[in-house]
């Protein structure tokens, strides 16, 4: 079997790459060659410069991929690499690799690489392409990845006409996980989860993804090709190249399905597997160009194209005179705000993030809430930073704003050493202890009630936060409230609530259960 696969690989290399074969008979090395190894073999053909010179996946064998002999993934990789090289787009290309046997594609392709969760490549590719429209974005997926767990992603990306290219490697089985039935497993084909062969009455019929996507209006190019013989491999080569050329021209959604051998799981040697593609897969999945046309998508409903900076600038201008400069005494401040749904927890986070943006900081806001619209638990993470934010998830907040006892007890242990907890009650509950942090009690709901509406308790807490930490300027808070709160009566209440929260810290602050005359937390 090893001998067969070696000769197959050589034949394909010679036919596909138009590369001179170099027998390593002398000690003179040509580019991309390596010296004979202790295993007594040497690479006798060159490879695309789109591949890394050495693969770091394994400490030894740095010129070998992890694919089994005769696996279609290796061939598809070569075809993609050569197309990218020929089109001269290596520096512009981002490859989104899936979960499956090809999960390690990023070890081989010297491109922008992103590896994503199972089935999510079209969604990730959508984000990448929209953020970087001048890049060539490729989603590379297996049949389990694309046609099972990722069915929704591929259909919707295709239906939206995302200007990405999807290479779909259909080997009719889950390779990586040891041979479970895939949506594309043939009728009668055995797998570990269809040990008697796939029976439509029990497992349904194979999914024909190319045909299915061709029912949608937006895709511009859909073709199914096969790695069954060299002639078909050359057709596959042309199809992949065409898809990438169309993307380079900004045309629209392109999709190439590749019927591909998986000798290992099919229990065949590479030549038998290739023949099986020809004899069994092609009749079940006919090769065809299912779509090749330009689609006119009306542009009149395109959203206004403004950068975040322009949008924020626009809001700033509409919200009055420029803000005074505020000194930020932190590099990054991580704040967690928690309470019941309906207490304005998420809104408070949004307001802080907006304020941070207006003060020129990098910001993120990440909400988390239960299914209930009222009374369920809700919390959010807010990062204010002078640098780009690595992750919006906060596991060790420096500041916790806890609007109720449950949130206090749940999140207080997470607060960083020397952090601050602002608790929205007059006193701490019994048996509460958070020795690593300072605790400031602010009876926000009572204060808000006295002002006329419990709704503004969150703004009382905002005032307390600003006064206690000086993280952002109160002038910015007012500026944001004025821009966001359209109801004049509520805006007036919010102003009072902001002042009341600040005044409480200044005059009556309670640290733990104790009132401190100086207004500062211990």
Ligand X SMILES: Cc1ncc(C[n+]2csc(CCOP(=O)(O)OP(=O)(O)O)c2C)c(N)n1
Under DSSP, the state recorded for 342 is T
102 forms part of the interface with ligand X (CB under 6 A): yes
Choose one: 45-53, 94-102, 244-252, 268-276; the region binding ligand X (CB under 6 A).
94-102
| Contacts to ligand SF4 from residues 67-86, by CB under 6 A | 67-68, 71, 73
> What span, in angstroms and rounded, lies between the C-alpha atoms of 196 and 470?
69
Return the one option of ligand SF4, ligand X, none that residue 174 interacts with (CB less than 5 to 8 A, by type).
Answer: ligand X
The encoded tokens of residue 423 equal 């608790």
| Contacts to ligand X from residues 123-142, by CB under 6 A | 142
**Strand runs labelled E in 144-266:** 165-170, 221-226, 254-259
> Which string of x and - marks every residue 166-205 that binds ligand X (by CB under 6 A)?
-----x-xxxxx----x-----------------------
Q: What would the 3-class secondary structure string for 429-467 be?
A: CCCCCCCCCEEEECCHHHHHHHHCCHHHHHHHHHHHHHH
Closest-CA residue to 78 (of 102, 58, 59):
102
99 forms part of the interface with ligand SF4 (CB under 6 A): no
122 forms part of the interface with ligand X (CB under 6 A): no
Which of 69, 70, 74, 100: binder of ligand X (CB under 6 A)?
A: 100
Query: What is the distance of C-alpha 80 from the center of its chain?
Result: 23
CB of 508 to ligand X, least distance (A): 52
CB of 63 to ligand SF4, least distance (A): 17
| Contacts to ligand SF4 from residues 51-70, by CB under 6 A | 67-68
CB of 260 to ligand X, least distance (A): 8
Nearer to ligand X, 258 or 402 (CB): 258
The encoded tokens of residue 403 equal 């609007």
> Which string of x and - marks every residue 265-294 that binds ligand SF4 (by CB under 6 A)?
x-----------------------------
Paired with 191 in beta bridges are: 194
> What span, in angstroms and rounded, lies between the C-alpha atoms of 85 and 471?
50
Choose one: 169-177, 297-305, 316-324, 327-335; the region binding ligand SF4 (CB under 6 A).
169-177
252 forms part of the interface with ligand SF4 (CB under 6 A): no
Closest-CA residue to 16 (of 210, 241, 287, 267):
241
Nearer to ligand X, 102 or 254 (CB): 102
Paired with 138 in beta bridges are: 95, 165
> What span, in angstroms and rounded, lies between the C-alpha atoms of 470 and 485?
23
Choose one: 261-269, 274-282, 435-443, 477-485; the region binding ligand SF4 (CB under 6 A).
261-269
Nearer to ligand X, 99 or 422 (CB): 99
> What span, in angstroms and rounded, lies between the C-alpha atoms of 168 and 209?
9
> What span, in angstroms and rounded, lies between the C-alpha atoms of 199 and 178?
20
The encoded tokens of residue 255 equal 């999709």
Binding footprint of ligand SF4 on the chain (CB under 6 A): 67-68, 71, 73, 101, 171, 175-176, 262-265
């Amino acid at each position: 079997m090893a001998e067969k696969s070696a000769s197959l690989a050589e034949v394909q290399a010679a036919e596909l790459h138009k590369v001179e074969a170099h027998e390593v008979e002398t000690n003179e090395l040509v580019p991309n060659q390596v010296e004979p190894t202790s295993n007594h073999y040497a690479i006798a053909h060159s490879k695309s410069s789109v591949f890394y010179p050495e693969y770091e996946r394994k400490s030894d064998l740095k010129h070998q991929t992890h694919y089994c002999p005769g696996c279609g993934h290796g061939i598809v990789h070569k075809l993609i690499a050569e197309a990218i090289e020929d089109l001269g787009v290596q520096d512009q290309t981002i490859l989104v690799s899936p979960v499956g046997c090809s999960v390690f594609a990023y070890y081989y392709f010297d491109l922008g690489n992103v590896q994503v969760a199972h089935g999510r490549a079209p969604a990730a590719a959508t984000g990448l392409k929209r953020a970087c429209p001048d890049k060539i974005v490729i989603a590379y997926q297996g049949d389990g990845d694309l046609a099972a767990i990722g069915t929704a992603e591929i259909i919707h990306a295709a239906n939206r006409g995302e200007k990405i290219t999807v290479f779909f490697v259909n080997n009719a089985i889950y390779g990586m996980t040891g041979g479970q039935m895939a949506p594309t497993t043939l009728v009668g084909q055995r797998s570990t989860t269809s040990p008697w062969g796939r029976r439509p009455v029990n497992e349904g019929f194979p999914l024909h993804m190319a045909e299915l996507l061709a029912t949608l209006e937006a895709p511009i190019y859909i073709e199914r090709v096969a790695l069954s013989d060299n002639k078909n491999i050359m057709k596959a080569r042309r199809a992949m190249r065409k898809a990438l050329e169309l993307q380079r021209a900004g045309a629209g959604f392109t999709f190439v399905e590749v019927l591909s051998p998986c000798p290992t799981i099919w229990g065949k040697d590479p030549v038998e597997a290739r023949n099986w593609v020809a004899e069994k897969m092609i009749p079940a999945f006919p090769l065809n160009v299912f779509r090749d046309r330009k689609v006119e998508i009306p542009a009149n409903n395109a959203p206004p194209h403004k950068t975040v900076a322009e949008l924020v600038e626009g809001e700033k201008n509409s919200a009055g005179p420029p803000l005074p400069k505020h000194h930020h005494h932190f590099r990054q401040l991580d704040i967690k705000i928690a309470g019941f749904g309906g207490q304005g927890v998420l809104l408070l986070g949004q307001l802080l993030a907006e304020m941070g943006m207006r003060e020129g900081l990098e910001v993120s806001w990440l909400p988390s809430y239960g299914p209930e619209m009222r009374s369920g638990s809700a919390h959010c993470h807010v990062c204010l930073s002078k640098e780009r934010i690595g992750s919006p998830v906060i596991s060790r907040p420096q500041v916790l704003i806890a609007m109720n006892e449950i949130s206090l007890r749940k999140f207080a242990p997470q607060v960083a050493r020397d952090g601050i907890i602002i608790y929205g009650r007059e006193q701490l509950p019994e048996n509460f202890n958070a020795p690593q942090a300072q605790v400031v009690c602010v009876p926000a709901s009572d204060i808000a009630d006295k002002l006329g509406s419990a709704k503004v308790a969150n703004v009382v807490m905002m005032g307390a936060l600003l006064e206690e930490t000086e993280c952002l300027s109160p002038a910015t808070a007012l500026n944001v409230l004025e821009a966001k709160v359209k109801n004049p009566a509520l805006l007036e209440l919010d102003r009072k609530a902001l002042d009341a929260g600040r005044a409480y810290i200044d005059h009556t602050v309670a640290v733990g259960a104790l009132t401190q005359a100086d207004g500062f937390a211990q």
